[in-house]
Amino acid sequence: MPKMKTKRGAAKRFRVRASGSVKRAQAFKRHILTKKTTKNKRQLRATASVHARDVESVKAMLPYA
C-alpha cells in the first residue's frame, strides 16, 4: 500500500495542536485594509480554531499531523 498524501494546500493553512484541535489564521486581512479599523486589524492577527464540525475533514486532509 502506498503512503497517504497530505493535501499541501491544507498543510499550509492548518496546524494540529497537541490537544487535537486545529488552529487556523483569520480571514479578511489580505487587502482593502484602509476601511478597517486598527482594532479590527489587530484582532485579526490572532489565530482561531477550526469549527468542531470541520475538524474531521481537515484532519483527513492532514493524515500525518
Let me know the angle formed at the C-alpha of 31 by 54 and 46, rounded to the nearest 5 degrees: 50
The band of 7, judged by pLDDT with boundaries at 50, 70 and 90, is very high
CATH number at residue 14: 4.10.410.60
pLDDT band at 56 (very low <50, low <70, confident <90, very high): very high
Q: How far is the C-alpha of 18 from the C-alpha of 23, rounded, in Å? A: 11
Mean pLDDT of the region 52-61: 97
Instruction: Identify whether 3 is part of a domain.
Output: no
What domain range is 17 assigned to?
A: 8-61
Assigned domain for 25 exists? yes
Residue 37 included in any domain: yes
How many CB atoms neighbour CB 22 within 10 A? 23
Tell whether 2 is covered by a domain. no
**1 is a domain residue:** no
**46: in domain:** yes
Q: Residue 49 falls within a domain, yes or no?
A: yes
